[in-house]
Amino acid sequence: MKSLPYFCRGEVIRGFGRGSKELGIPTANFSDSVVDNLPADISTGIYYGWACVGNGDVHKMVMSIGWNPYYKNTKKSMETHVIHTFKEDFYGEVLSVVMVGYIRPERSYDSLEALIAAINNDIEEAKVNLELAEHLKLREDNFFTSISSTGLPTTTTASTSQTIMNGH
């Protein structure tokens, strides 16, 4: 995929209560402005990369891009599971991510156990792959280090902060 690595940031909105948190795998949903800017060559499926909430630490992440059932599968959703234990929810905060690599396409599972096992495999694959030097260096990217105390980039204004920062 030519658009990888892909940098984006935007507000965390409420999802549709599909119970990710109950499975132990909460997924932070991006606002429509981020989803609508996704390049056409970024297909649905599971990605790995780096993520940071507000101006917090950069953590490993896995992201699912899929068709959103709430909009009768006409609209995509981007859901990020940050591989870190947070003390509190962060709805309304700015999430910054860089999608680094693609793991697999989406698929349906026969059981909840099979789904959870697949996600845990994705998390393990993300953890291992992100240790490669070429991926580790993205963690230190200016994209993350130039975030102010408001969680917005210091080099752009708030009104542009939710637009795609790719190719910066």
Find the binder of ligand ADP among 76, 90, 129, 163 (CB under 6 A): 90
47 strand-pairing partners: 63, 102
Token look-up 């396409």 returns 105
How many residues touch Mg ion under the rule CB under 5 A: the total is 4
Give the H or E element holding residue 100: strand 94-104
**Residues of this chain, 33-72, that bind ligand ADP according to CB under 6 A:** none
Query: CB under 6 A: which stretch of 1-9, 87-95, 118-126, 144-152 binds ligand ADP?
Result: 87-95
Compare residues 29 and 161 and give the one whose CB is closer to ligand ADP.
Answer: 29
Which of helix, strand or coil describes residue 139?
helix
Query: CB under 5 A: which stretch of 18-26, 59-67, 69-77, 117-125 binds Mg ion?
Result: 18-26
Residues assigned a catalytic role: 79
Question: What whole-number distance in Å separates Cα of residue 4 and Cα of residue 152?
Answer: 22
How many residues touch ligand ADP under the rule CB under 6 A: the total is 20
CA atoms within 13 A on the CB side of 63: 31
